[in-house]
Amino acid sequence: GSHEPDGPTTLMVRNIPADCRCEDLLWDWPIDGTYDLLYLPRRSGGRSALGYAFINFVSPSHASAFLASWKLRRLSRFPHGRSLNIVSAERQGFEAILHQLRTKPASEMRSRGCEVVVVKDGQHVPLN
């Protein structure tokens, strides 16, 4: 049947270059309906990325396809960067990540310039 395999939907992508921005990730991982959340945490002041990103897929099969496609590759805009190390995230699911984001003070979110892409019906929608 069309039974979804069990497995993670949320992946943590490590070795993201410090000067990487969300648009650099979207260049390689365009909004294509396979994921609904992309989160790139940044240092206070927002000047540099913390070195990892979270991406939540709409199904485990999309997550495993992304993992197979991207493990040990480099981002297009950072050809001299380290190769990506992708693992299953500790917190799984769209709601879990959003909850984590919403428990941070809004002022801290703004000052850190946390970059979050939420996808709904194929469109990038603002986090509210």
pTM: 0.86
Q: What is the pLDDT of residue 1?
A: 44
Q: Are 89 and 54 in contact (CB under 8 A)?
A: yes
Q: For 46-95, how does the pLDDT look when each residue is reduced to its tens digit (9 = 90+)?
A: 778 999 999 999 999 999 999 999 999 999 999 999 999 999 999 999 99
CA dihedral 76, 80, 82, 83 (to 10 degrees): 40
Sheet hosting strand 123-125, strand order edge to edge? 85-88, 10-14, 52-57, 35-40, 115-120, 123-125
Q: Please, what sign has the CA dihedral across residues 113, 34, 81, 83?
A: positive
Round to whole Å and give the CA distance between 19 and 80. 13
More confident residue, 44 or 69: 69
Q: For 87-120, how does the pLDDT look when each residue is reduced to its tens digit (9 = 90+)?
A: 999 999 999 888 887 777 665 655 555 588 888 8
